[in-house]
Amino acid sequence: MRKPKTIVEKIWEKHMVHQEAGKPDLLYIDLHLVHEVTSPQAFEGLRMNNRKVRQPDRTFATMDHNVPTIHRNVIKDEVSKTQMETLKANCDEFGVPLADIHHPDQGIVHVIGPELGLTQPGKTIVCGDSHTSTHGAFGALAFGIGTSEVEHVLATQTIWQQKPKTLNVKVNGKLGTGVTAKDLILAIIGKYGVRFGTGYVLEYTGEAIRDLSMEGRMTVCNMSIEAGARAGLISPDDTTVEFLRGKRHVPDGEAFDKLAEEWKDLATDEGAVYDEQVEIDANEIEPQVTWGTNPGMCIPVSANVPTPEDVQTDNDKDELKRALEYMGLEGGEPISSVAIEHVFIGSCTNSRLADLRKASEIIKGQKVNPSVTAIVVPGSHSVKTQAEKEGIDILFKEAGFEWRDAGCSMCLAMNDDVVPEGERCASTSNRNFEGRQGTGARTHLVSPEMAAAAAIKGHFVDVRHLGVATPS
Amino acid sequence: MEPIRKHEGLVFPLNRANVDTDQIIPKQFLKRISRQGFGQFVFYNWRFDSKGELREDFSLNQPKYEGTSILVAGENFGCGSSREHAPWALQDYGFRVIIAPSYADIFYNNCTKNGILPVKLTEEQVQTLIKNAEADQYNLTVDLEEKKVYDNQGFEASFDLDAYKREMLLNGWDEIAVTLTHEDKITQFEKARG
């Protein structure tokens, strides 16, 4: 009998190009996703050294980080425009396929990879973007890299990597009604902190993970990096296979069925050994809201904001005080009493069709609170078009939301979608760092349903007590 | 990249944990298409107020840290975004060495690709260095060949760095050129897979 292996071990072995003592392993990269912000210096490096892109067909580029989400034909910001034009010129020069701002495949890089079927189980996937961990939802080994590594992968289609340790995050039981994948991952980071995953690949297992849709799995894997892990993944199963069936970059017919069997064989074997394991109970998780300046500063919606007395060491007290001060909170107040001025539904964490559908159920027939400005930014052009076919845009617009074009938008506010200084935003994105959504802006991370509910009420509210049907 | 073997410099203490790359360089400065010129934006929102005036309450702005080249910080330094603009900004500002108890993985890698030496010491050692540098102008020597950090008042600590990264930093090698010495293996791998 063969030795039981984790999915990480199986993928690692299949991609090993070179191994020698005292060095990391040289791994082959199946798919390299590229965007406009972290690639210009990499292409410049190739040019300076007279190097080519080794495998243009394993490389795919799009524009997402600083694209405007309104008035697309006139880009006012000259510097952003230059960055987009540079990507276009680089892709032309090096023969890399590109979905530019006007292309029907354009969207957030971590939304379009899966949508096009480029993301597949067993692949090694990199991108100059920390949220590349998203693709792990498919049982791919996917991680973010810096620009020097982008250049390295462009030139060699490989990367030097120390074999990571594995950490099994086992989620037992079932999530309650109105409790989402976003609440689950926030609760995990809230419990174990923003560095528990450093040096590990997280594999999410257990009943609650198996029950998640692919969209939910992407939300969970997306935020692995916020727990310190470069990669998080979920073993492929029938849910994975059915999501990919019929996608553009996967085969069809018998070839697909054969591939599907290979994918399912990648799943971690019974009895495989992880380096570490944590276990949590999905039944106990409530809808979550972050109160502070990193994703681990997170509490259930029914709880009060913590105070310095709640932590032990001087350094922890300092960190907590700084976070309260930045967030304009006293400490001790119920998080549900905190009024918001902005709502952002979007980002590579929560901008897929399923996210928009669920949020639209909450706001259907209601009005955005007069004190709130609310925007919906679909994750891709394709998500936007599909949502419009279903009339979801009409529901949002009638409620008073702005309905925008696809991009990263207010998640990092590189374009004009900025939260003003001192104002507060309920956001479905992934980072509540200082200044993330604008200098002095205050971010509270929540699920799409919780963001929609906050838009209507003008403050945080437990989506389960709204009296509206909350699809699970 | 520029090799780094032994570096002596003035320490800047940043007694905060979980310093993310959004703080090291905020997103509004990521639109440039070159690697140069990011130093002026390092820790921008901590160094400058909303009017663009220097904030006196942020210690990097104090004259005693002028010319600093060694940054000492708390746990999980460089977490969050993968932006390599963070090490570019730190380096362009003048930092050659960072000392912290732990780092985020991507940031750590990015440093070693740019000739910045990320040193890991224990939380206790880091707190000692921070206290010394908060009290007075404080110089340290970091020796990558010996894998040691020391001052002239008796502090000495050893650190670990994997052999491959150490070699790259000591020699300032172009990693792509190193990899391409294995190009036959890459080609073989591609052929075998069809």
Interface test with B, best of A25, A37, A132, A316 (most B CBs within 10 A): A37
Q: Which residue has the higher pLDDT, A22 or A109?
A: A109
pLDDT tens per residue across span B94-116: 999 999 999 999 999 999 999 99
Which amino acid is present at A299?
Answer: I
Tell me: do A123 and A14 sit in the same domain. yes
- Per the structure, the count of domains in chain A is 3
- Read out DSSP for B18-67? S-BHHHHS-GGGTT-SSSSS-GGGTTHHHHB-TTSPBPTTSGGGSGGGTT
Tell me: do A279 and A299 sit in the same domain. no
CA atoms within 13 Å, Cβ hemisphere of A114: 30
A434/B23 Cβ within 8 A: yes
Give the end of a domain, one of A114, A144, A162: A162
- The number of angstroms, rounded, from the C-alpha of B15 to the middle of its chain's C-alpha atoms is 15
Annotated binding residue A127: no
In a domain, A57, yes or no: yes
Tell me: do A278 and A293 sit in the same domain. no
Candidate from A22, A144, A434 with C-beta closest to B106: A144
In a domain, B1, yes or no: no
Closest CA to A56 of A95, A105, A17, A2: A95
B87 contacts on A by Cβ (under 8 Å): 146
Closest CA to B144 of B162, B131, B130, B129: B162
pLDDT of amino acid A75: 84
Tell me: do A188 and A335 sit in the same domain. no
| pLDDT-derived band at A472, boundaries 50, 70, 90 | very low
In a domain, A246, yes or no: no
Tell me: do A100 and A214 sit in the same domain. no
Range of the domain at B123: 6-193
Tell me: do A457 and A311 sit in the same domain. yes
Give the end of a domain, one of A106, A131, A162: A162
| pLDDT tens per residue across all 194 residues of chain B | 899 999 999 999 999 999 999 999 999 999 989 999 999 999 999 999 989 999 999 999 999 999 999 999 999 999 999 999 999 999 999 999 999 999 999 999 999 999 999 999 999 999 999 999 999 999 999 999 999 999 999 999 999 999 999 999 999 999 999 999 999 999 999 999 87
Annotated binding residue A91: no
Q: Which helix (H) or strand (E) holds A407?
A: none
Tell me: do A72 and A89 sit in the same domain. yes
Cβ within 8 Å of B, A 79-108: 79-80, 82-83, 86
B59 touches chain A (CB under 8 A): no
Range of the domain at A218: 165-236+269-284
B22/A431 Cβ within 8 A: yes
Interface test with A, best of B1, B27, B59 (most A CBs within 10 A): B27
Q: What is the mean pLDDT of residues A36-55?
A: 97
Q: Is pLDDT above 90 for A22?
A: no
ipTM: 0.96
What's the CATH number where A174 sits?
Answer: 3.40.1060.10
A128/B109 Cβ within 8 A: no
Candidate from A22, A130, A156 with C-beta closest to B180: A156
pLDDT tens per residue across span B49-78: 989 999 999 999 999 999 999 999 999 999
Annotated binding residue A411: yes
pLDDT of amino acid A469: 47
In a domain, B141, yes or no: yes
Give dist(CA A133, CA A119) in Å, integer: 12
A318 contacts on B by Cβ (under 8 Å): 15-16
| pLDDT-derived band at A470, boundaries 50, 70, 90 | very low
B28 touches chain A (CB under 8 A): yes
B30/A225 Cβ within 8 A: no
In a domain, B52, yes or no: yes
B45 contacts on A by Cβ (under 8 Å): 434-435, 439-440
A294 touches chain B (CB under 8 A): yes
What's the CATH number where A425 sits?
Answer: 3.30.499.10
B124 contacts on A by Cβ (under 8 Å): none
A22 contacts on B by Cβ (under 8 Å): 163-164
pLDDT tens per residue across span A79-128: 999 999 999 999 999 999 999 999 999 999 999 999 999 999 999 999 99
Tell me: do A144 and A19 sit in the same domain. yes
Bridge-partner residues for A62, per DSSP? A99
B80/A225 Cβ within 8 A: yes
In a domain, B189, yes or no: yes
pLDDT tens per residue across span A267-290: 999 999 999 999 999 999 999 999
Candidate from A79, A144, A148 with C-beta closest to B31: A79
What's the CATH number where B104 sits?
Answer: 3.20.19.10
Q: What token pair was written down for A364?
A: 């259907």
Where residue A71 falls (left for φ over 0; alpha for ψ -120 to 50; beta otherwise) is left
pLDDT of amino acid A1: 67
First and final CA of chain A: distance in angstroms? 41
pLDDT tens per residue across span A315-337: 999 999 999 999 999 999 999 99
pLDDT of amino acid A471: 44
In a domain, B28, yes or no: yes
In a domain, A252, yes or no: no
B105 touches chain A (CB under 8 A): yes
In a domain, A82, yes or no: yes
B34 touches chain A (CB under 8 A): yes
In a domain, B108, yes or no: yes
Tell me: do A157 and A275 sit in the same domain. no
Candidate from A40, A151, A440 with C-beta closest to B176: A151
